[in-house]
Structure 1
Amino acid sequence: MRISVIQMNQGSDKAKNIADAEQLIAAACESDRPHLVTLPETWTNLGGGREARERAAEILPTPGEEGGPAYEAMRAIARRHEIHVHGGSIVEKGMEKLFNTTLVFDPEGVEIARYRKIHLFDITGPDGTGYRESALYGGGDQIVTFAAHGITFGCTICYDVRFPEHYLALRRAGAEAIFIPSNFTLMTGKDHWEVLMRARAIETQCWIIAAASTGSYEERGAQRQVYGHSLIADPWGHVVAKCSDGVGFATAHLDAALTARVRRDMPVLDHRRLA
Protein backbone atom coordinates (compact mmCIF):
# COMPACT_ATOMS: atom_id res chain seq x y z
CA MET A 1 0.00 0.00 0.00
CA ARG A 2 1.42 3.39 -1.00
CA ILE A 3 0.84 6.42 1.21
CA SER A 4 1.71 10.05 0.50
CA VAL A 5 2.22 12.66 3.23
CA ILE A 6 1.23 16.14 2.04
CA GLN A 7 3.27 19.06 3.42
CA MET A 8 1.57 22.47 3.35
CA ASN A 9 2.24 26.08 4.28
CA GLN A 10 -1.34 26.96 5.12
CA GLY A 11 -2.48 30.31 6.49
CA SER A 12 -5.76 31.83 7.58
CA ASP A 13 -7.38 31.90 4.10
CA LYS A 14 -9.49 28.75 4.17
CA ALA A 15 -10.49 28.79 0.49
CA LYS A 16 -6.83 29.11 -0.57
CA ASN A 17 -5.81 26.31 1.79
CA ILE A 18 -8.41 24.00 0.28
CA ALA A 19 -7.27 24.87 -3.26
CA ASP A 20 -3.60 24.32 -2.31
CA ALA A 21 -4.41 20.92 -0.79
CA GLU A 22 -6.31 19.86 -3.90
CA GLN A 23 -3.37 20.82 -6.12
CA LEU A 24 -0.78 19.05 -3.97
CA ILE A 25 -2.85 15.88 -3.76
CA ALA A 26 -3.42 15.91 -7.52
CA ALA A 27 0.35 16.21 -8.06
CA ALA A 28 1.07 13.36 -5.63
CA CYS A 29 -1.53 11.14 -7.31
CA GLU A 30 -0.12 11.83 -10.77
CA SER A 31 3.49 11.29 -9.69
CA ASP A 32 3.36 8.54 -7.07
CA ARG A 33 -0.10 6.95 -7.43
CA PRO A 34 -0.76 6.51 -3.70
CA HIS A 35 -3.66 4.49 -2.33
CA LEU A 36 -4.01 6.95 0.56
CA VAL A 37 -3.00 10.56 1.16
CA THR A 38 -2.77 12.38 4.47
CA LEU A 39 -2.84 16.12 5.22
CA PRO A 40 -1.33 18.14 8.12
CA GLU A 41 -3.00 19.22 11.34
CA THR A 42 -5.59 22.02 10.89
CA TRP A 43 -4.73 22.24 7.19
CA THR A 44 -7.70 24.56 6.54
CA ASN A 45 -6.49 27.16 9.03
CA LEU A 46 -3.23 28.16 10.68
CA GLY A 47 -2.90 31.58 12.25
CA GLY A 48 -5.09 34.65 12.26
CA GLY A 49 -6.22 34.26 15.86
CA ARG A 50 -9.43 33.08 17.45
CA GLU A 51 -11.67 34.78 14.91
CA ALA A 52 -10.00 33.06 11.95
CA ARG A 53 -10.28 29.66 13.61
CA GLU A 54 -13.94 30.19 14.37
CA ARG A 55 -14.57 31.26 10.76
CA ALA A 56 -12.80 28.12 9.53
CA ALA A 57 -14.73 25.82 11.86
CA GLU A 58 -17.32 23.46 10.42
CA ILE A 59 -20.25 21.68 12.03
CA LEU A 60 -19.63 18.08 11.09
CA PRO A 61 -22.59 16.24 9.59
CA THR A 62 -23.91 12.82 10.36
CA PRO A 63 -21.93 10.56 7.99
CA GLY A 64 -23.77 10.37 4.69
CA GLU A 65 -25.16 13.90 4.93
CA GLU A 66 -23.70 17.03 3.32
CA GLY A 67 -21.00 18.89 5.21
CA GLY A 68 -19.09 22.16 4.97
CA PRO A 69 -16.50 23.23 2.35
CA ALA A 70 -13.54 21.26 3.76
CA TYR A 71 -15.64 18.19 4.47
CA GLU A 72 -17.03 18.14 0.94
CA ALA A 73 -13.61 18.91 -0.57
CA MET A 74 -12.12 15.81 1.08
CA ARG A 75 -15.02 13.66 -0.10
CA ALA A 76 -14.61 14.97 -3.64
CA ILE A 77 -10.83 14.37 -3.62
CA ALA A 78 -11.36 10.78 -2.48
CA ARG A 79 -13.87 10.10 -5.25
CA ARG A 80 -11.96 11.96 -7.96
CA HIS A 81 -8.68 10.12 -7.37
CA GLU A 82 -10.24 6.88 -6.08
CA ILE A 83 -8.13 6.95 -2.92
CA HIS A 84 -8.53 7.01 0.83
CA VAL A 85 -8.14 10.53 2.26
CA HIS A 86 -6.93 10.97 5.82
CA GLY A 87 -7.83 14.60 6.37
CA GLY A 88 -5.08 15.51 8.85
CA SER A 89 -7.35 17.59 11.02
CA ILE A 90 -9.77 20.48 10.61
CA VAL A 91 -11.44 22.81 13.09
CA GLU A 92 -14.76 21.34 14.22
CA LYS A 93 -17.42 23.60 15.69
CA GLY A 94 -18.82 22.11 18.88
CA MET A 95 -21.61 23.23 21.17
CA GLU A 96 -19.36 25.20 23.54
CA LYS A 97 -15.82 24.83 22.19
CA LEU A 98 -14.03 23.95 19.01
CA PHE A 99 -12.39 20.57 18.44
CA ASN A 100 -9.27 19.59 16.52
CA THR A 101 -10.71 16.73 14.49
CA THR A 102 -9.50 14.12 12.00
CA LEU A 103 -11.82 12.82 9.27
CA VAL A 104 -11.11 9.84 7.02
CA PHE A 105 -12.89 9.04 3.74
CA ASP A 106 -12.84 5.93 1.56
CA PRO A 107 -12.51 6.04 -2.27
CA GLU A 108 -16.28 6.43 -2.61
CA GLY A 109 -16.25 9.52 -0.39
CA VAL A 110 -17.81 7.75 2.58
CA GLU A 111 -16.62 8.91 6.02
CA ILE A 112 -15.08 5.92 7.82
CA ALA A 113 -13.38 7.52 10.85
CA ARG A 114 -13.60 10.61 13.03
CA TYR A 115 -11.11 11.40 15.83
CA ARG A 116 -10.92 14.38 18.20
CA LYS A 117 -7.44 15.28 19.48
CA ILE A 118 -7.11 14.08 23.07
CA HIS A 119 -4.00 15.87 24.38
CA LEU A 120 -4.13 19.67 24.16
CA PHE A 121 -1.02 21.78 23.57
CA ASP A 122 -0.74 23.99 26.68
CA ILE A 123 2.99 24.67 26.91
CA THR A 124 5.66 27.37 26.89
CA GLY A 125 8.21 26.86 24.15
CA PRO A 126 12.01 27.18 24.49
CA ASP A 127 11.80 30.72 23.08
CA GLY A 128 9.22 31.77 25.70
CA THR A 129 6.22 31.65 23.36
CA GLY A 130 3.10 30.38 25.09
CA TYR A 131 0.54 28.06 23.50
CA ARG A 132 -2.85 27.43 25.17
CA GLU A 133 -4.86 25.13 22.95
CA SER A 134 -7.37 24.44 25.73
CA ALA A 135 -8.46 28.10 25.73
CA LEU A 136 -10.23 27.48 22.44
CA TYR A 137 -10.48 23.71 21.98
CA GLY A 138 -12.06 20.86 23.88
CA GLY A 139 -10.33 17.49 24.08
CA GLY A 140 -11.50 14.15 22.77
CA ASP A 141 -11.78 11.04 24.92
CA GLN A 142 -11.75 8.08 22.55
CA ILE A 143 -9.04 6.24 20.64
CA VAL A 144 -9.95 5.59 17.00
CA THR A 145 -8.86 3.03 14.43
CA PHE A 146 -10.00 2.24 10.90
CA ALA A 147 -9.10 -0.29 8.20
CA ALA A 148 -7.94 0.33 4.62
CA HIS A 149 -6.38 -2.11 2.14
CA GLY A 150 -6.13 -4.79 4.82
CA ILE A 151 -4.19 -2.58 7.26
CA THR A 152 -5.50 -1.25 10.58
CA PHE A 153 -4.63 2.42 11.17
CA GLY A 154 -4.71 4.44 14.38
CA CYS A 155 -5.48 8.15 14.62
CA THR A 156 -3.57 10.69 16.69
CA ILE A 157 -2.75 14.39 16.25
CA CYS A 158 0.50 16.29 16.95
CA TYR A 159 0.91 16.75 20.75
CA ASP A 160 -0.54 13.26 21.29
CA VAL A 161 2.90 11.98 20.23
CA ARG A 162 4.34 12.84 23.66
CA PHE A 163 2.07 10.34 25.40
CA PRO A 164 3.29 6.82 24.60
CA GLU A 165 0.44 5.17 26.51
CA HIS A 166 -1.90 6.48 23.80
CA TYR A 167 0.13 4.64 21.16
CA LEU A 168 0.29 1.46 23.22
CA ALA A 169 -3.51 1.56 23.45
CA LEU A 170 -3.72 1.85 19.65
CA ARG A 171 -1.31 -1.06 19.20
CA ARG A 172 -3.44 -3.14 21.54
CA ALA A 173 -6.50 -2.12 19.52
CA GLY A 174 -4.88 -3.69 16.45
CA ALA A 175 -3.10 -0.74 14.85
CA GLU A 176 -0.34 -1.55 12.38
CA ALA A 177 0.21 2.08 11.33
CA ILE A 178 -0.50 5.34 13.15
CA PHE A 179 -1.08 8.85 11.79
CA ILE A 180 0.38 11.93 13.48
CA PRO A 181 -0.67 15.02 11.44
CA SER A 182 1.13 17.98 12.98
CA ASN A 183 1.89 21.69 13.27
CA PHE A 184 5.13 21.15 15.22
CA THR A 185 6.77 24.40 16.28
CA LEU A 186 10.21 25.10 14.87
CA MET A 187 11.78 25.33 18.33
CA THR A 188 10.46 21.96 19.52
CA GLY A 189 10.63 20.30 16.13
CA LYS A 190 14.32 20.80 15.54
CA ASP A 191 15.12 18.89 18.72
CA HIS A 192 12.22 16.47 19.17
CA TRP A 193 10.33 15.83 15.91
CA GLU A 194 12.19 12.92 14.37
CA VAL A 195 13.22 11.47 17.74
CA LEU A 196 9.59 11.23 18.87
CA MET A 197 8.33 9.84 15.57
CA ARG A 198 10.97 7.13 15.46
CA ALA A 199 10.45 6.32 19.15
CA ARG A 200 6.72 5.78 18.68
CA ALA A 201 7.46 3.55 15.67
CA ILE A 202 9.99 1.44 17.61
CA GLU A 203 7.84 1.13 20.75
CA THR A 204 4.66 0.14 18.95
CA GLN A 205 6.24 -1.65 15.98
CA CYS A 206 3.87 0.37 13.81
CA TRP A 207 4.40 2.51 10.75
CA ILE A 208 4.29 6.18 11.71
CA ILE A 209 2.80 8.53 9.12
CA ALA A 210 3.27 12.21 9.92
CA ALA A 211 2.17 14.96 7.53
CA ALA A 212 3.23 18.37 8.84
CA SER A 213 2.96 22.06 8.14
CA THR A 214 6.03 24.01 7.08
CA GLY A 215 7.14 27.65 6.96
CA SER A 216 5.68 30.58 8.86
CA TYR A 217 2.29 32.04 9.70
CA GLU A 218 0.90 35.12 11.43
CA GLU A 219 -0.68 34.86 14.87
CA ARG A 220 -1.96 37.99 16.65
CA GLY A 221 0.53 40.23 14.84
CA ALA A 222 3.55 37.97 15.39
CA GLN A 223 5.24 35.54 13.02
CA ARG A 224 5.44 31.93 14.13
CA GLN A 225 7.30 29.11 12.44
CA VAL A 226 6.51 25.42 12.06
CA TYR A 227 9.05 22.70 11.47
CA GLY A 228 7.75 20.65 8.54
CA HIS A 229 9.86 17.58 7.70
CA SER A 230 6.81 15.37 7.08
CA LEU A 231 7.89 11.75 7.26
CA ILE A 232 7.00 8.08 7.24
CA ALA A 233 8.88 5.70 9.54
CA ASP A 234 8.76 1.91 9.39
CA PRO A 235 8.16 -0.41 12.40
CA TRP A 236 11.91 -0.74 12.98
CA GLY A 237 12.19 3.04 13.32
CA HIS A 238 13.81 3.81 9.97
CA VAL A 239 12.62 6.98 8.22
CA VAL A 240 11.72 5.67 4.77
CA ALA A 241 10.24 8.87 3.26
CA LYS A 242 10.69 12.52 4.17
CA CYS A 243 9.79 15.92 2.73
CA SER A 244 12.39 18.59 2.14
CA ASP A 245 11.85 22.22 3.18
CA GLY A 246 8.86 23.91 1.59
CA VAL A 247 5.55 22.55 0.37
CA GLY A 248 5.48 19.16 -1.30
CA PHE A 249 4.86 15.49 -0.63
CA ALA A 250 6.67 12.23 0.03
CA THR A 251 5.52 8.66 -0.56
CA ALA A 252 6.35 5.26 0.90
CA HIS A 253 5.16 1.69 0.45
CA LEU A 254 3.77 0.11 3.63
CA ASP A 255 4.93 -3.50 3.68
CA ALA A 256 2.73 -5.68 5.90
CA ALA A 257 5.31 -8.46 5.75
CA LEU A 258 7.90 -6.18 7.36
CA THR A 259 5.48 -5.36 10.17
CA ALA A 260 4.82 -9.03 10.79
CA ARG A 261 8.54 -9.91 10.76
CA VAL A 262 9.50 -7.16 13.23
CA ARG A 263 6.73 -8.22 15.62
CA ARG A 264 7.57 -11.91 15.28
CA ASP A 265 11.29 -11.49 15.91
CA MET A 266 10.90 -9.04 18.82
CA PRO A 267 7.49 -9.70 20.45
CA VAL A 268 7.58 -6.75 22.84
CA LEU A 269 3.82 -6.64 23.34
CA ASP A 270 3.93 -10.20 24.74
CA HIS A 271 6.85 -9.27 26.99
CA ARG A 272 5.25 -6.24 28.66
CA ARG A 273 4.96 -6.49 32.45
CA LEU A 274 4.18 -3.00 33.81
CA ALA A 275 1.50 -1.67 31.47
Structure 2
Amino acid sequence: MKIALAQMCSGIDPEENARQFRSLAVEAASGGAAMIFTPEMTGLLDRNRLRAAEMIRTEEDDVLLSTARSQARKSRIWVHLGSLAIKASGDSGEKWLNRSYLINPDGEITARYDKIHLFDVDLSTDETLRESSAYVGGHNAVVASIPDATLGLSICYDVRFPGLYEALTNAGADILAVPAAFTVPTGKAHWEILLRARAIEAGAFVVAAGQCGQHEDGRSTYGHSMVIDPWGEILLDMGEEAGLDFCDLDLGKVAEVRSRVPAVANRRNFEPPVNMR
Protein backbone atom coordinates (compact mmCIF):
# COMPACT_ATOMS: atom_id res chain seq x y z
CA MET A 1 0.00 0.00 0.00
CA LYS A 2 1.51 3.29 -1.09
CA ILE A 3 0.68 6.25 1.15
CA ALA A 4 1.55 9.94 1.17
CA LEU A 5 2.23 12.13 4.20
CA ALA A 6 1.55 15.86 4.09
CA GLN A 7 3.80 17.84 6.44
CA MET A 8 2.22 21.27 6.75
CA CYS A 9 2.74 24.66 8.33
CA SER A 10 -0.94 25.50 8.72
CA GLY A 11 -1.85 29.11 9.35
CA ILE A 12 -4.77 31.20 10.55
CA ASP A 13 -6.70 31.30 7.24
CA PRO A 14 -8.75 28.13 6.56
CA GLU A 15 -9.17 29.06 2.88
CA GLU A 16 -5.40 29.17 2.37
CA ASN A 17 -4.92 25.93 4.27
CA ALA A 18 -7.58 24.33 2.06
CA ARG A 19 -5.74 25.48 -1.07
CA GLN A 20 -2.51 23.95 0.26
CA PHE A 21 -4.27 20.70 1.07
CA ARG A 22 -5.79 20.53 -2.42
CA SER A 23 -2.38 20.90 -4.04
CA LEU A 24 -0.87 18.22 -1.79
CA ALA A 25 -3.74 15.81 -2.47
CA VAL A 26 -3.35 16.24 -6.23
CA GLU A 27 0.39 15.59 -5.90
CA ALA A 28 -0.26 12.51 -3.74
CA ALA A 29 -2.68 11.02 -6.25
CA SER A 30 -0.38 11.82 -9.18
CA GLY A 31 2.42 10.01 -7.32
CA GLY A 32 0.34 6.86 -7.03
CA ALA A 33 -0.66 7.05 -3.37
CA ALA A 34 -3.81 5.22 -2.35
CA MET A 35 -4.15 7.45 0.72
CA ILE A 36 -2.93 10.79 2.05
CA PHE A 37 -2.43 11.55 5.76
CA THR A 38 -2.45 15.14 7.06
CA PRO A 39 -1.46 16.63 10.47
CA GLU A 40 -3.43 17.68 13.51
CA MET A 41 -5.21 21.00 12.92
CA THR A 42 -4.89 20.83 9.14
CA GLY A 43 -7.52 23.52 8.64
CA LEU A 44 -6.55 26.10 11.25
CA LEU A 45 -3.66 26.55 13.68
CA ASP A 46 -4.23 29.61 15.84
CA ARG A 47 -3.61 29.95 19.57
CA ASN A 48 -5.45 33.30 19.59
CA ARG A 49 -8.79 31.81 20.52
CA LEU A 50 -10.84 34.97 20.01
CA ARG A 51 -9.55 35.18 16.42
CA ALA A 52 -9.92 31.44 15.91
CA ALA A 53 -13.53 31.54 17.05
CA GLU A 54 -14.36 33.69 14.03
CA MET A 55 -13.02 30.98 11.70
CA ILE A 56 -14.16 27.72 13.31
CA ARG A 57 -17.29 26.27 11.72
CA THR A 58 -19.62 23.33 12.13
CA GLU A 59 -18.81 20.17 10.24
CA GLU A 60 -21.36 21.10 7.57
CA ASP A 61 -19.71 24.47 6.91
CA ASP A 62 -16.00 23.71 7.33
CA VAL A 63 -14.08 24.69 4.18
CA LEU A 64 -11.22 22.21 4.66
CA LEU A 65 -13.59 19.27 5.17
CA SER A 66 -15.59 20.26 2.11
CA THR A 67 -12.39 20.61 0.06
CA ALA A 68 -11.09 17.24 1.25
CA ARG A 69 -14.32 15.43 0.35
CA SER A 70 -14.39 17.03 -3.08
CA GLN A 71 -10.73 16.32 -3.78
CA ALA A 72 -11.05 12.71 -2.61
CA ARG A 73 -13.70 12.22 -5.30
CA LYS A 74 -11.74 14.01 -8.00
CA SER A 75 -8.44 12.26 -7.27
CA ARG A 76 -9.95 8.88 -6.28
CA ILE A 77 -7.87 8.81 -3.11
CA TRP A 78 -8.49 8.03 0.55
CA VAL A 79 -7.95 11.01 2.87
CA HIS A 80 -7.12 10.92 6.55
CA LEU A 81 -7.55 14.47 7.85
CA GLY A 82 -5.38 14.40 10.97
CA SER A 83 -7.77 16.78 12.67
CA LEU A 84 -9.85 19.90 12.31
CA ALA A 85 -11.14 22.33 14.89
CA ILE A 86 -14.91 21.89 14.67
CA LYS A 87 -17.71 23.80 16.37
CA ALA A 88 -19.46 21.34 18.66
CA SER A 89 -23.16 21.02 19.31
CA GLY A 90 -25.21 19.67 22.19
CA ASP A 91 -24.04 19.95 25.77
CA SER A 92 -20.44 21.03 25.11
CA GLY A 93 -21.30 24.72 25.51
CA GLU A 94 -18.93 27.02 23.66
CA LYS A 95 -16.12 24.47 23.40
CA TRP A 96 -14.84 22.96 20.15
CA LEU A 97 -13.91 19.47 18.99
CA ASN A 98 -10.45 18.34 17.85
CA ARG A 99 -11.73 15.78 15.32
CA SER A 100 -10.11 13.43 12.81
CA TYR A 101 -11.89 12.38 9.63
CA LEU A 102 -11.46 9.41 7.32
CA ILE A 103 -12.80 10.04 3.81
CA ASN A 104 -13.11 7.43 1.06
CA PRO A 105 -12.55 7.96 -2.70
CA ASP A 106 -16.28 8.66 -3.12
CA GLY A 107 -15.92 11.64 -0.79
CA GLU A 108 -17.87 9.94 2.00
CA ILE A 109 -16.88 10.35 5.64
CA THR A 110 -16.39 6.79 6.89
CA ALA A 111 -15.03 7.53 10.38
CA ARG A 112 -14.72 10.34 12.91
CA TYR A 113 -12.56 10.42 16.01
CA ASP A 114 -12.56 13.10 18.73
CA LYS A 115 -9.25 13.52 20.55
CA ILE A 116 -9.53 11.86 23.94
CA HIS A 117 -6.44 13.16 25.78
CA LEU A 118 -6.29 16.95 25.78
CA PHE A 119 -2.92 18.72 26.03
CA ASP A 120 -2.96 20.40 29.46
CA VAL A 121 0.70 20.88 30.38
CA ASP A 122 3.22 23.27 31.91
CA LEU A 123 6.24 23.04 29.61
CA SER A 124 8.20 25.74 31.46
CA THR A 125 7.68 28.64 33.80
CA ASP A 126 6.51 30.79 30.89
CA GLU A 127 4.69 28.28 28.65
CA THR A 128 1.44 26.77 29.85
CA LEU A 129 -0.98 25.07 27.46
CA ARG A 130 -4.58 24.21 28.33
CA GLU A 131 -6.33 22.56 25.40
CA SER A 132 -9.27 21.67 27.64
CA SER A 133 -10.11 25.36 28.11
CA ALA A 134 -11.29 25.53 24.49
CA TYR A 135 -11.92 21.89 23.48
CA VAL A 136 -14.07 19.08 24.78
CA GLY A 137 -12.46 15.64 24.83
CA GLY A 138 -13.78 12.55 23.14
CA HIS A 139 -14.74 9.30 24.85
CA ASN A 140 -14.55 6.58 22.21
CA ALA A 141 -11.64 4.75 20.59
CA VAL A 142 -12.21 4.31 16.84
CA VAL A 143 -10.99 1.84 14.23
CA ALA A 144 -11.99 1.95 10.57
CA SER A 145 -11.59 -0.20 7.48
CA ILE A 146 -9.33 0.96 4.65
CA PRO A 147 -8.09 -1.11 1.68
CA ASP A 148 -6.45 -4.31 3.00
CA ALA A 149 -6.04 -2.93 6.54
CA THR A 150 -7.71 -1.58 9.67
CA LEU A 151 -6.77 1.92 10.76
CA GLY A 152 -6.70 2.96 14.41
CA LEU A 153 -7.28 6.66 15.02
CA SER A 154 -5.56 8.92 17.53
CA ILE A 155 -4.31 12.51 17.74
CA CYS A 156 -1.03 13.94 19.04
CA TYR A 157 -1.02 13.89 22.88
CA ASP A 158 -2.85 10.54 22.75
CA VAL A 159 0.53 8.98 21.85
CA ARG A 160 1.58 9.20 25.52
CA PHE A 161 -1.23 6.86 26.62
CA PRO A 162 -0.48 3.28 25.50
CA GLY A 163 -3.80 1.97 26.78
CA LEU A 164 -5.54 3.62 23.84
CA TYR A 165 -3.32 1.81 21.34
CA GLU A 166 -3.85 -1.49 23.16
CA ALA A 167 -7.60 -0.97 22.70
CA LEU A 168 -7.11 -0.13 19.01
CA THR A 169 -4.98 -3.20 18.26
CA ASN A 170 -7.31 -5.41 20.31
CA ALA A 171 -10.00 -4.17 17.92
CA GLY A 172 -7.92 -5.22 14.90
CA ALA A 173 -5.87 -2.13 14.00
CA ASP A 174 -2.71 -2.87 12.01
CA ILE A 175 -1.99 0.79 11.11
CA LEU A 176 -2.05 3.48 13.79
CA ALA A 177 -2.51 7.12 12.77
CA VAL A 178 -0.85 9.71 15.03
CA PRO A 179 -1.33 13.14 13.41
CA ALA A 180 0.30 15.85 15.47
CA ALA A 181 1.29 19.44 16.09
CA PHE A 182 4.09 18.61 18.53
CA THR A 183 5.92 21.45 20.23
CA VAL A 184 9.64 21.70 19.51
CA PRO A 185 10.85 20.90 23.08
CA THR A 186 8.61 17.84 23.46
CA GLY A 187 9.30 16.79 19.89
CA LYS A 188 13.06 16.79 20.36
CA ALA A 189 12.76 14.85 23.60
CA HIS A 190 9.97 12.37 22.99
CA TRP A 191 8.49 12.25 19.45
CA GLU A 192 10.55 9.48 17.88
CA ILE A 193 10.77 7.28 20.95
CA LEU A 194 7.02 7.43 21.60
CA LEU A 195 6.16 6.57 18.00
CA ARG A 196 8.60 3.67 17.92
CA ALA A 197 7.31 2.38 21.25
CA ARG A 198 3.72 2.40 20.04
CA ALA A 199 4.73 0.54 16.85
CA ILE A 200 6.80 -2.06 18.71
CA GLU A 201 4.30 -2.87 21.43
CA ALA A 202 1.45 -3.11 18.89
CA GLY A 203 3.35 -4.85 16.11
CA ALA A 204 1.72 -2.29 13.82
CA PHE A 205 2.63 0.45 11.38
CA VAL A 206 2.55 3.96 12.82
CA VAL A 207 1.82 6.82 10.41
CA ALA A 208 2.43 10.23 11.98
CA ALA A 209 1.90 13.33 9.84
CA GLY A 210 2.96 16.49 11.65
CA GLN A 211 2.91 20.25 11.58
CA CYS A 212 6.27 21.98 11.14
CA GLY A 213 8.01 25.33 11.24
CA GLN A 214 7.09 28.82 12.41
CA HIS A 215 3.34 29.45 12.22
CA GLU A 216 1.42 32.66 11.71
CA ASP A 217 0.19 32.62 15.30
CA GLY A 218 3.79 32.69 16.56
CA ARG A 219 4.16 29.09 17.68
CA SER A 220 6.73 26.61 16.34
CA THR A 221 6.09 22.93 15.71
CA TYR A 222 8.54 20.07 15.41
CA GLY A 223 7.84 18.43 12.05
CA HIS A 224 9.63 15.10 11.47
CA SER A 225 6.52 13.37 10.12
CA MET A 226 7.29 9.67 10.33
CA VAL A 227 6.30 6.19 9.27
CA ILE A 228 7.43 3.41 11.61
CA ASP A 229 7.15 -0.28 10.70
CA PRO A 230 5.90 -2.99 13.11
CA TRP A 231 9.48 -3.87 14.12
CA GLY A 232 10.09 -0.26 15.18
CA GLU A 233 12.22 0.72 12.19
CA ILE A 234 11.87 4.22 10.75
CA LEU A 235 10.75 4.02 7.13
CA LEU A 236 10.31 7.78 6.66
CA ASP A 237 11.39 10.94 8.48
CA MET A 238 10.41 14.16 6.70
CA GLY A 239 12.67 16.48 8.67
CA GLU A 240 11.67 20.07 9.31
CA GLU A 241 10.34 21.38 5.97
CA ALA A 242 6.75 21.45 4.75
CA GLY A 243 5.94 19.22 1.81
CA LEU A 244 4.80 15.78 0.71
CA ASP A 245 6.54 12.42 0.79
CA PHE A 246 5.63 8.81 0.02
CA CYS A 247 6.05 5.47 1.73
CA ASP A 248 5.20 1.90 0.74
CA LEU A 249 3.65 -0.22 3.50
CA ASP A 250 4.18 -3.98 3.23
CA LEU A 251 1.08 -4.96 5.19
CA GLY A 252 2.27 -8.55 5.44
CA LYS A 253 4.92 -7.28 7.86
CA VAL A 254 2.28 -6.98 10.59
CA ALA A 255 1.54 -10.71 10.68
CA GLU A 256 5.23 -11.52 10.33
CA VAL A 257 6.26 -9.40 13.32
CA ARG A 258 3.33 -10.52 15.47
CA SER A 259 4.23 -14.15 14.84
CA ARG A 260 7.87 -13.53 15.83
CA VAL A 261 7.00 -11.56 18.99
CA PRO A 262 3.33 -12.27 19.78
CA ALA A 263 2.93 -9.47 22.33
CA VAL A 264 -0.61 -8.66 21.18
CA ALA A 265 -1.72 -12.30 21.48
CA ASN A 266 0.03 -12.65 24.85
CA ARG A 267 -1.75 -9.73 26.49
CA ARG A 268 -3.50 -10.66 29.73
CA ASN A 269 -6.01 -9.00 32.00
CA PHE A 270 -4.90 -8.69 35.61
CA GLU A 271 -6.11 -7.47 38.96
CA PRO A 272 -5.14 -4.04 40.34
CA PRO A 273 -1.82 -3.92 42.21
CA VAL A 274 -1.75 -5.14 45.78
CA ASN A 275 -0.36 -2.63 48.26
CA MET A 276 2.17 -4.62 50.32
CA ARG A 277 2.72 -2.01 53.04
Report the TM-score when normalising by structure 1: 0.93
Alignment of 1:1-275 (within 5 A): 1-30=1-30, 32-61=31-60, 67-95=61-89, 96=93, 97-126=95-124, 128-219=126-217, 223-274=218-269
Q: What is the CA distance between 1:146 and its match in structure 2?
A: 0.7
2:58 corresponds to which letter in structure 1?
I
TM-score, with structure 2 as normaliser: 0.92
Q: Deviations over 1:226-268 (max 9, x none)?
A: 0001011111111101213211122111212111100111111
- Note the alpha carbon deviations across 1:106-140, whole angstroms, 9 max, x for none: 00101100000000000011474111000000000
| Alignment RMSD (CA, Å) | 1.4
Q: For residues 127 and 33 of structure 1, do their structure 2 counterparts lie closer, same or farther at Cα, with a shift above 3 Å needed?
A: farther
Three-state SS of the structure 1 residue aligned to 2:265 is helix
Paired AA for residue 235 in structure 1: P
* Identity %, equivalent residues: 36
- Conserved 8 A contact 1:12-1:48: no
Cα pair 2:14 2:63 within 8 Å, conserved: no
Q: CA deviation at 1:274?
A: 4.9
Q: How many residues align?
A: 266
Q: Structure 1 counterpart of 2:147, which letter?
A: H
Distance 1:74 1:127, change over 3 A: farther
Higher gyration radius (CA): 2
**2: CA distance between counterparts of 1:260 and 1:188?**
32
**Which piece of structure 1 moves more, 67-76 or 174-183?**
67-76
Misfit runs of 4+, over 3 Å: none
Any conservation in 2 of the 1:56–1:91 contact (CA below 8 Å)?
no
Contact residue 96 and residue 134 of structure 2 kept, 8 A: yes
Secondary structure class of the residue paired with 1:25: helix
Deviation, structure 1 residue 53: 2.6
Residues 17 and 64, structure 2, Cα contact 8 Å, conserved in 1: no
Unaligned 5+ segments in structure 1 are 62-66
Asked whether the 8 Å contact 1:92–1:100 carries over to 2, the reply is yes
CA distance in structure 1 between the partners assigned to 2:226 and 2:200 by the alignment: 15
Q: Quickly say closer, same or farther: Cα 1:253–1:128, change in 2 above 3 A.
A: same
The aligned counterpart of 1:64 is none
Structure 2: 5+ residue stretches without partners:
271-277
Deviations 1:192-222 (A, max 9, x none): 1111111100011111000000001244xxx
